[in-house]
Structure 1
Amino acid sequence: MKPGEHGRIAERSSGGRFFATTYVRDADGKRRRVERSSNKSIEDARRLLQRHLAHRRTPLSGQAITERTTLAEIFELWIEAKAAEDGISQQTADQYRAVWEKHGLQQLGALTVTELPTSRANAHLKLMGATTQATRLRMVLRGMFTLAVGFDVVGVNPIREAKVTKTSSISPRAATADEFHQVRAAVRAYAERQGSGPQPGRLLLPFVDLLVATGGRPNEVLALRWSDVDLSSDPPTVTITGTLIDHGRIAGMPLHRQDLRKGGAPEHTVVLPQFGVDALLTLKEDGAAADGPVFANRLGGWMSLTNMRRALRAALPDSLAWITPHSFRRTVATVVRDAHGPALAQQQLSHAKLDTTEKHYLQRQTRGPDVRETLEAFVGET
């Protein structure tokens, strides 16, 4: 027999039960006896055996994942492999673990790897609704079962056809020049208001200006150090080299700077317009350590995006409540696109793919170009 083939099916009865037996040569070359029984008839026992043979897989032993391995155990193997092979950050690993522990461990963790069909996975994901957590859990489960497929425990990945509830896409919105002037005026008024105690808006105006001057992500701008700034060069520049990781984003870690950009992207140098230079000169007047944070809190440490976001919300009127720190990145992308085309917008934002810039950062153009001359010429030729 070749691997996967079986011999003649033998039949017998004993004590009122009926048995069908054969020998199978498994994928490992070994010959094994396989039997199924029924209390109805010989024919029923034969049918049960044939159904079993159609889906039977070689028994596994001595490897990390077998048919008896639970999903809880596979998750631990997968997250370890993910960190070792793909080099994911601790922050990303913690996000995967958090979604598994909240939405997967208690609900699915006790099942073995062969006990989660597509239908059940699909129902569980749909029950979570149109959420980022559902999308992330699907990604985790798909990775876990890809690992199981690699061990020949299951033949296909059951998560491949499982779907999450789709969210309605929201078109990127950029601020107009007039809206941006309103933002700056509101932020300036908030920072200059009189009162006792700390002034939470002290850094808000230069923060807004640097977001627009660079097009950087908010946590990348807050992670700038004075050693990343070169105001003496012609033209003046800043180089984005890292990002801030907020409190609790990595288990047990406080607010800290990560010396890598999002996704491990390379350093990104941007040329500063004059208002960006002015914002940095204003910050430098407060006195700054040579390699300290550009946006330093009152103790000289890093300034949390949570605090800056809270201050911006407090500063803006209701008509501008839709604006968040990330809105300025979309605004920069749209302004550069309108003046110089999408390729330079992508370059300013340092995206690896133009599709990312167009899909998530560029406000859609709703006015067609002036092509009257071209169309008139076409009609005139007929």
Structure 2
Amino acid sequence: MPRPPLPLGSWGKISRKQVAPGVWRAITRFRDYDGRTRQVEKRAGSGAKAERLLVIELRDRSASTAGQEVSRETILSAVIPLWWAELEDRNRADNTLTRYRDVVDNQILPGVGNLRIREATVTALDRFLKAVREKHGAATAKHAKTILSGVLGLAVRHGAADGNPLRDVAPVPVAKASVRALTVDEARALRAGLLAWQSASAPVGRKRPQDLLDVVDVMLATGCRIGEALAIRWPDVDLGTQRASVTVNGTVIYVPGEGLKWQSHPKSSSSQQKYTLPGFAVQMLLRRQVEQEEGNAFDVVFPSAAGTLRDPNNFRKQWRQARMDLGFDWVTPHTFRKSVATVLANAEGLAAASAQLGHSSEDVTRRHYVQKAHEAPDHADLLAQFGMEASG
């Protein structure tokens, strides 16, 4: 069965392939305004760069689409490039764009891309999102809903729809796990156990990393994410003042076709902040400053064994082995962030915890990062009156 024609000024799925050592090709089909569909390609030293160059070329070729009227008869796949151009102008993180592109290509375009705007009803979109959730999980369904909401919001702005049907689509249900954080005593026990684990003899043929505790300590001292911890550079560290500090300025991410990359901003703009350090973290950084070998191209505090950026996923693999051996199999790198939030919320209030983690609202901190207390307040004296004998 032949493929349906692309809408005018739009392109199909982009594919990348290495065609020679150090040469990658990105290629797709583009339907020009003469009605003919042509192959368009770009070449570069990496797949990601070739795709970026190709997208720029395609956006230039479809520039007149921006002035094209979007009507109730326009299909969604023709509106998506317009929405995508707006998304890129918002300077979203590379990981976000990669994830959105994957959802667009693999779920939205094949699932509802040929629907006309007038056909994108609450019923049709609700059915689609439920199918995505059943097959690919709640996270993918939530991403698809966010993208479609943006696309149909653009249609509303163009007068092609009276309202955004995504507002009335049923929420994507997500199983909410209760927050679990380390207590202070558990954190102390974990740190002591990890120090001993690093020093103990490893099984034959395996080598244990000697600085897992150092990375854990910077997360416990700040509440930063694992990618942000591994992106801290020595210029971000100030140990020469009475109140030593570290500033989180970026994060380490993986970009398909390019490998690890130091991204010049953390996950959110509010995460880019300066943290005053407790004593145990200051001592660790002073020691590393003395012991650090030269030749670290990114000047990061926690480089890989080869002196390059350290992969957060590799750290997670190393951490999984350590936590299993230590009996803390439930503790992930994100648990340290939750532990910081819980300690601060209990001692200083929710506002302090939210500010430390750089959240946009205290509600995010309360719902996802602070372990709830399961012990009711002591009101025994007040309630005792129910058991008193009646007077008179």
Interval of TM-score (by shorter of Structure 1 and Structure 2): 0.7 to 0.9
Q: Is the 8 A contact 1:186 1:315 kept in 2?
A: no
- CA deviation profile, 1:189-213 (whole Å, cap 9, x unmatched): 3322335777452220101111111
Q: Distance in 1 between matches of 2:176 and 2:67?
A: 47
Flag the 1:368–1:252 CA change in 2: closer, same or farther, 3 A: same
- 1:352 corresponds to which residue? 360
Deviation at 1:288, TM superposition (A): 4.6
Q: Distance in 1 between matches of 2:193 and 2:103?
A: 38
Q: Distance in 1 between matches of 2:171 and 2:358?
A: 30
Q: Is the 8 A contact 1:121 1:162 kept in 2?
A: yes
Q: Is the 8 A contact 1:70 1:111 kept in 2?
A: yes
Q: Is the 8 A contact 1:228 1:239 kept in 2?
A: yes
- 1:177 corresponds to which residue? 184
- 2:264 corresponds to which residue? 259
Of 264, 285, 292, 2:299 maps to 292
- CA deviation profile, 1:361-381 (whole Å, cap 9, x unmatched): 11012223345678899xx9x
> How high is the TM-score relative to the length of structure 2?
0.74
SS of aligned partner of 2:310 = coil
**Letter of the aligned partner of 2:91 in structure 1?**
G
Q: Is the 8 A contact 1:220 1:261 kept in 2?
A: yes
After superposition, residues 160-309 of structure 1 pair within 5 angstroms as 160-194=167-201, 199-245=207-253, 247-248=254-255, 251-265=256-270, 267-289=272-294, 292-309=299-316
Q: Distance in 2 between matches of 1:265 and 1:343?
A: 14
- 1:106 corresponds to which residue? 110
After superposition, residues 6-155 of structure 1 pair within 5 angstroms as 63-84=68-89, 86-129=90-133, 131-155=138-162
After superposition, residues 304-319 of structure 1 pair within 5 angstroms as 304-317=311-324, 319=327
Q: Distance in 2 between matches of 1:90 and 1:165?
A: 25
SS of aligned partner of 1:188 = helix
Q: Distance in 2 between matches of 1:95 and 1:135?
A: 12
Return 5+ residue gaps in structure 1 as ranges. Answer: 1-60
Deviation at 1:239, TM superposition (A): 1.1
- Say whether residues 1:330 and 2:338 are aligned partners: yes
Q: Is the 8 A contact 1:186 1:316 kept in 2?
A: no
SS of aligned partner of 1:238 = strand
Return 5+ residue gaps in structure 2 as ranges. Answer: 1-65
Q: Distance in 2 between matches of 1:340 and 1:114?
A: 52
- CA deviation profile, 1:50-71 (whole Å, cap 9, x unmatched): xxxxxxxxxxx97242334221
> How high is the TM-score relative to the length of structure 1?
0.75
Fraction of identical pairs, as percent: 32
Q: Distance in 2 between matches of 1:167 and 1:205?
A: 33
SS of aligned partner of 2:165 = coil
Deviation at 1:89, TM superposition (A): 2.9
SS of aligned partner of 1:369 = coil
Tell me how many residue pairs correspond in the alignment.
317
Q: Is the 8 A contact 2:93 2:267 kept in 1?
A: no
Q: Is the 8 A contact 1:191 1:200 kept in 2?
A: yes
SS of aligned partner of 2:242 = coil
Q: Distance in 1 between matches of 2:157 and 2:355?
A: 39
SS of aligned partner of 1:194 = coil
Flag the 1:308–1:266 CA change in 2: closer, same or farther, 3 A: closer
**Letter of the aligned partner of 1:233 in structure 2?**
T
SS of aligned partner of 2:221 = helix
- 1:31 corresponds to which residue? none
